[in-house]
Structure 1
Amino acid sequence: MKAWLTAHRPLVAGAMVLVLAGVAVVVFALLRPAPEPPVAAPSSTSASPTTTTTTTGSSTPPTTTAPTTTRTPPPAVPFPESLRGQDISRLPTDRKVVALTFDAGANSAGLPSILRTLADQRVLATFFLTGNFAQAEPGTVQAILAAGHRIGNHSMTHPYLTRLPDNEIAAELTRAEQVLMRTGADPRPLFRFPYGDRDARTIADVNAQGYVAVRWTVDTLGWQGTTGGNSPQRVVERTITALQPGEIVLMHIGSHPTDRSTLDADALPDVIAAVRARGYDFVTLDTLLGEGTTRR
C-alpha cells in the first residue's frame, strides 16, 4: 500500500485538491447572505384633498384647508316711512308717556348713579353713545345693556355733520355702528345728531344709512353744570315745564369739564317722581318703531 501511494502520489494529491475545492464552494454558498427584495416604485396615488404636499427640500410648509365662518349681524329694524326726512322731537302719541334719553361722548361720571336710579325706579331709557366713547369704555356699554336699556348711534367722533360731505357722514355712522356692535350693542335704527346740528341733506344721509333721526322735546341743560348757573332743581323744572304726551327728554351721563358736577344724574330721582306725579309713565324710543314699553 505504501508502495502504491508512493507510485501514485501526484494523482492522490490532485484528488485531494478537488475534494477541498468542492467543500469550499459548498461552505461559501451556505454562508453568503440572501439578496434583499427589490425596492417598490413610488405610488402615483394623489395626496388627501384637504392637504397640499411638498417635495423634499421645498421651503413651503404643508398647508391644510380650514373652514371659514363669517358673522353677519341681523338686519336692522326698519323704521316707518312716516319718520323719513324728520329729526323727531316728540313721540307721535297721545299717551301720557315720556322717553328719557342720555347722550354720552365725554365721560361716564354720572352713569353709576343714573343706572342705580333707573333700576330702583324700574324705568328703562335710551342711551346715545359715540363710537369713541364705546371704544374707550366697552365695559360701560355692556353695563348699560345688562341693565336692559336701549342704545342708539351718536356718530363716531361727535362732529358737526352739516360741515361734512356725504361720504364722511356715512363713515361716521358706519364706524360708530361697528364699534358698538363689537361691544354687543345694536344701535340701529336710532340716531341722534351731535350738537343737534342737522339740515335736510344730513337727515337724508342718516336715513340712507338705515337710521331715523331723533332729537328732543326738552334739553335739561344739565350739561352746563353749576358753572353755567344750572342746578338739579332747574333740571326738574325744565322737564316738567315741557311735559306733554310723547315728550323726549335730553340728559347727559358725563360730568361738567370744569366744575365736575353731574346735574342730570343728581336730578334724575326727582325728575322721575315729578313726571309720575302727573300721571305719566316711561318708554324707550323703540316706541317710534311700534315696539315695547320700558316699564319693568
Structure 2
Amino acid sequence: MRRIAGHGRRKPAGSPGGGPTRRGLLRLAAAAGAVAAAGAAGPAFGHGKDSALPGAAKGRPPVTGPLAGQDFARLPISEKKVALTFDCGSSPDGVDKVLAALEAHALPATFFMTGRFASDHAEAARRIGRAYPVGNHSLTHPEFPKLTHDERVRELRAADRSIERAIGRAPAPLFRFPFGAVDRQCTDEVNAEGYVCVRWTVDTVGWKGAAAGATTDTVIARVMEALTPGAIVLMHVGRTSTADPSTVDATALPHLIEAIDGQGYDYTSLAPLIG
C-alpha cells in the first residue's frame, strides 16, 4: 500500500495521490495572507526544448483568490514544524540515502521533480512517488523569466505528463521555480496552469558539492540559523556535477534530522497543510 507522508511521524495525510484539495488551498490562503518570496538561486541544470505543446493536466483548476501571485517561502503555522523538501533535477545518486533516512525516522517530505528526471530515472521517480507527494519542477530546469509564454507552458505541461508516467498519478498541484527565478508574470502563468508556487525558507546549498566546500556541518549550520515554525528546507537528492560525485545533502540528512529534533521540532510535508 502506498504511504503518503503527512503531519508529524507515521501519520498519513493529504488527498489521494498526495495532492492538496481546492478547499484546503483556500484554508491555506486564509491563514497565510501574503507570504513574501525569499531565498537564493539554486544549482544549474541542462536546458532542452520540446517541439510539441502537450495538453494541460485533466481537471486541474487555475489558482485564484488569495493564493494567486504568491511564491510561498514559509508555511503559515505557529507550531514548531518544518517541511523537508527535495529537488530532483540532476542525478538520482542520493535517492537511496534520502529515502532510507526519511523511512528510518518515519518522516514526511515533499519532492519537486523535473520531467527529465522522471523520464531519465524512472525507477527512482517511482520509488519516491510511492511514498511521498511529488510536485512539478519544470521539464528541463530553465530560468522561467527568460522563456516565452508558450515555452513556460510547455515546460509545465510536459513535466506534468512525464512525472505522471513515472509515478503513476498526476503530480501534486505544487510548483517550484528552477533557480528560484521568478517574476509576477511567471507566477500568474503557473497559477493559471493550476499550480501553487512554493519557494523555500533556507537552501542548504549542499548541491554545491564537497569540492566547493559543502559539508554536513555547513548544511546543519544553515538550517539551524533559519529554523523557525513553518520553515521550508530545500535540499537535493543528487549531485549536480559529473566532476564531483559527492551527495552532500543526502549524506547530511540523518545528522540534520538529529539537529532539528534537538531543537524540539517536528515535521510536515507541504501537502497536508493544504489538503
Give the TM-score category using the shorter length: 0.7 to 0.9
Q: 1:167 to 1:256 in 2, by over 3 A?
A: closer
Mark the CA change 1:272 to 1:231 in structure 2 (over 3 Å): closer, same or farther.
same
1:200 aligns with 2:184: yes
Matched, 1:284 2:256: no
Of the three residues 63, 66, 72, the one matched with 1:82 is 66
Rg larger in 1 or in 2? 1
Give the counterpart of 2:251 among 241, 245, 266.
266
User: In structure 2, what residue type is equivalent to 1:194?
Assistant: P
Deviations 1:8-43 (A, max 9, x none): xxxxxxxxxxxxxxxxxxxxxxxxxxxxxxxxxxxx
CA distance in 2, matches of 1:97, 1:129: 23
**Aligned-partner residue type, residue 150 of structure 2:** N
Is residue 177 of structure 1 aligned with residue 129 of structure 2? Answer: no
Question: Which of 148, 166, 170 is the aligned partner of 1:165?
Answer: 148
Q: Residues 281 and 78 (structure 1 numbering): CA distance in 2 closer, same or farther, change over 3 Å?
A: farther
Instruction: Say if 1:169 and 1:256 are closer, same or farther in 2 by CA, change over 3 A.
Output: closer
Distance 2:91 2:207 in 1: 12
Q: Is the 8 A contact 1:79 1:189 kept in 2?
A: no
Residue 188 of structure 1 and its aligned partner are, at CA, apart by 3.1
Deviations 1:144-189, CA, capped at 9 Å, x for gaps: 122x111000001111110111121111100000111112142231
Gap runs ≥5 in structure 2: 1-55
Contact 1:78 1:189 in 2 (8 A): no
Q: Residue 267 of structure 2: SS of its match in structure 1?
A: strand
Q: Map 1:1-296 onto structure 2 (within 5 A).
A: 75-76=59-60, 81-146=65-130, 148-183=131-166, 184-257=168-241, 258-289=243-274, 291=275
Q: 3-state SS of the aligned residue for 2:154?
A: helix
Give the % identical residues.
Answer: 44
User: Per the alignment, in what secondary structure is the counterpart of residue 245 of structure 1?
Assistant: coil
After superposition, the CA RMSD in angstroms is 1.7
Q: What SS class does the counterpart of residue 219 from structure 2 fall into?
A: helix
TM-score by length of 2: 0.75
Whether contact under 8 Å (1:188, 1:210) holds in the other structure is no
Distance 1:265-1:200 versus aligned 2 partners, 3 A rule: same
Relative contact order higher in (CA < 8 Å, ≥ 6 apart): 2
Letter in structure 2 aligned against 1:285: L
CA shift for structure 1 position 132: 0.7
What is the Cα deviation at residue 195 of structure 1?
Answer: 0.6
Task: Please report how far the alpha carbon of residue 276 of structure 1 lies from its aligned counterpart in structure 2 after TM superposition.
Answer: 1.5
SS of equivalent residue, structure 2 residue 107: coil
CA distance in 2, matches of 1:202, 1:127: 21
| Letter matched to residue 231 of structure 1 | T
Helix, strand or coil at the partner of 1:195: helix
